[in-house]
Amino acid sequence: MEELSLNTVTVRDRWTLAQCIEGCARHGIPGISPWRDKLAEMGVAAAARRIREAGLVVSGLCRGGMFPAADAAGRRAAIEDNLRAIEEAAAIGARCLVVLGGGLPPGSKDLPGARAMFRDGLAEVLPAARAAGVTIALEPLHPMTCADRSVLSTLGQALDLAEEFGEGVGIALDVYHVWWDPELERQVARARGRIAAFHVCDWLVPTQDLVFDRGMMGEGVIDIPRIRALAEAAGYDGPSEVEILSRRWWAEEPDRVLERIVAWGQGA
Amino acid sequence: MEELSLNTVTVRDRWTLAQCIEGCARHGIPGISPWRDKLAEMGVAAAARRIREAGLVVSGLCRGGMFPAADAAGRRAAIEDNLRAIEEAAAIGARCLVVLGGGLPPGSKDLPGARAMFRDGLAEVLPAARAAGVTIALEPLHPMTCADRSVLSTLGQALDLAEEFGEGVGIALDVYHVWWDPELERQVARARGRIAAFHVCDWLVPTQDLVFDRGMMGEGVIDIPRIRALAEAAGYDGPSEVEILSRRWWAEEPDRVLERIVAWGQGA
């Protein structure tokens, strides 16, 4: 069985980053992937030290990107925020900085324009990422998030960018966002050497909310082992990072959530 | 401005098919596209006569397809239901029978298997459609419906099938389902000669429900004129069929809904 990593958003409502680090140690989860708000609460230097002391692999830092904005000042602010995120990723030894598309600027219907803004923003921060040794992991999000969260919608689109920019740009493959894609098999094979992260959760039937109703692995309809096998066939051997945005799971006691995760990791 | 057509689901909660036919005449909407439940209520022969007398173009019949099923009996039942739908489409002179993918069979995680069932079902009913002169319009639905409504997820996938089967198989292009697709421009161009229907509504921000929260044209973020222009550049010159599944719009008085549709069609 592959190694696990805990994305801190999975228990975001009840645990601080310090508690997540302790929780991973207590439950035998060898990896962690913090969100930046949790990191800021704890302080980057303190977090880096505690994660190192706990011996945890940092499978990623969530999240940078979100470059589209209504005006030049907004686009500049996004770029500066990404430069800070790159520093933070380097400080905690993250295997990648997960980079999201961002949505359409408010009032805009210009999707090709927003995608061009994303590309331009990426081009602007990439030299800093390369200099810091931080891999940029482009994460396409489910097309249902296109308007307000991610104009980066498919693996094919992310790989077009990764191939264009080359060194230092990979992808984050999240089963929730890509499981439906008729191109899945072909695009994952194409991603060889570029898969920087592998995220898991599940698609519930019915899904009640476009953002906060993901399932625990096994609760839904995604054939996760098949997608993991495709990723491994394309050379990925890193952790399966558990990232569950769910009002239901956020209400659970975090130790119970981690028990479920560990049981899944053991093939239960 | 292009011609309009009213998909009856847009006012499904308050109007019968007879009322829809009268409403189209009253509001100067020259086309209609019934759902089969409305058609059954009125009776196919009576509906065909009334639509003809009203001089309406029938831009489509909704809906066939949905071939994946848990067992052979379920797959057989879907095929037989499609054969009836083909007869109905011929009887009312519909320009196409809109064909949907259907979801995963209950309990299944085998998406490639469900897609193979869809293809097999299509192959089985196609001779009857050709014999009846009914064009099959494969309609890819938004990937958020993949689990429970449509394993047919993208234009590219639908066009692969249309090209494989050839004669009698086209696509239905619904802006709601495809607006996010990074391949949109390329795939619509590829669809030349195969666009059998063009559906409009809008994507709301935020979207509150995965099925029943579509917007009236202009309320959301879809650049509908751009997509219409792509379709016209690919040779499509038929109606823009208005199909709005929305609990909010279903609560409105249907004459007000049709007024809004007509105003949009006039470029308001």
Cα distance between residue A17 and residue A9, in whole Å:
10
pLDDT at residue B268, rounded to an integer: 61
Using DSSP's 3-state secondary structure scheme, residue B164 falls into helix
pLDDT at residue A268, rounded to an integer: 62
For chain B, first and last CA: distance in Å? 11
Q: Indicate if the pLDDT at residue A197 is higher than 80.
A: yes
A150 at B interface, C-beta within 8 A:
no
Nearest to B83 by CA among B67, B70, B71: B67
Q: Which residue has the tokens 């009002």?
A: A247
Bridge partners for B170 per DSSP? B137
B186 at A interface, C-beta within 8 A:
no
Torsion of CA B10, B13, B14, B15, to 10 degrees: 60
Report, as an integer, the average pLDDT of B25-48. Answer: 97
B216 CA to chain A: closest CA distance, Å?
15
Q: What is the CA B132 to chain-centroid distance, rounded? A: 19
- Listed in sequence order, the residues at least 6 apart from A4 whose beta carbon sits closer than 8 Å to its beta carbon are A29, A30, A31, A239, A240, A241, A242, A261, A262, A265
pLDDT at residue B77, rounded to an integer: 98
B18 CA to chain A: closest CA distance, Å?
34
Q: Considering CB atoms only, which of A104, A111, A221 is closest to B147?
A: A221
- Please write the tens of the pLDDT for every residue from A131-156: 999 999 999 999 999 999 999 999 99
- Listed in sequence order, the residues at least 6 apart from B10 whose beta carbon sits closer than 8 Å to its beta carbon are B242, B243, B244, B249, B257, B261
pLDDT > 90 fraction of chain A, expressed in percent and rounded: 99
CB contact (8 A) between residue A220 and residue B183 = no
pLDDT at residue A162, rounded to an integer: 98
- Please write the tens of the pLDDT for every residue from B125-163: 999 999 999 999 999 999 999 999 999 999 999 999 999
Confidence class for position A252, pLDDT limits 50, 70, 90: very high
Q: Which residue has the tokens 């966002």?
A: A177
Q: Indicate if the pLDDT at residue A1 is higher than 60.
A: no
Q: Determine the residue of chain A that is closest to B224 in CA distance.
A: A109
B181 at A interface, C-beta within 8 A:
yes
Bridge partners for A92 per DSSP? none
- Interface predicted TM-score of the whole assembly (ipTM), two decimals: 0.96
- Residues B264 and B217 sit within 8 Å (Cβ to Cβ): yes
pLDDT > 70 fraction of chain A, expressed in percent and rounded: 99
Report, as an integer, the average pLDDT of B3-18. Answer: 98
CB contact (8 A) between residue B182 and residue A156 = yes
B142 at A interface, C-beta within 8 A:
yes
Beta-carbon contacts below 8 Å between A and B: 83
CB contact (8 A) between residue A203 and residue B142 = no
Q: Indicate if the pLDDT at residue B94 is higher than 90.
A: yes
Q: Considering CB atoms only, which of A143, A207, A221 is closest to B180?
A: A143
DSSP state of A135: P
CB contact (8 A) between residue A143 and residue B142 = yes
Contacting residues of A for B156, CB less than 8 Å apart: 182-183
Report, as an integer, the average pLDDT of B20-35. Answer: 98
Q: Indicate if the pLDDT at residue B204 is higher than 70.
A: yes
Residues 207-266 of B with CB under 8 A from A: 207, 210, 220-223
- Please write the tens of the pLDDT for every residue from A201-239: 999 999 999 999 999 999 999 999 999 999 999 999 999
pLDDT > 70 fraction of chain B, expressed in percent and rounded: 99
Task: Give residue B242's identity as a one-letter amino acid code.
Answer: V
Q: Considering CB atoms only, which of A153, A181, A203 is closest to B147?
A: A203
A206 at B interface, C-beta within 8 A:
yes
pTM > 0.90: yes
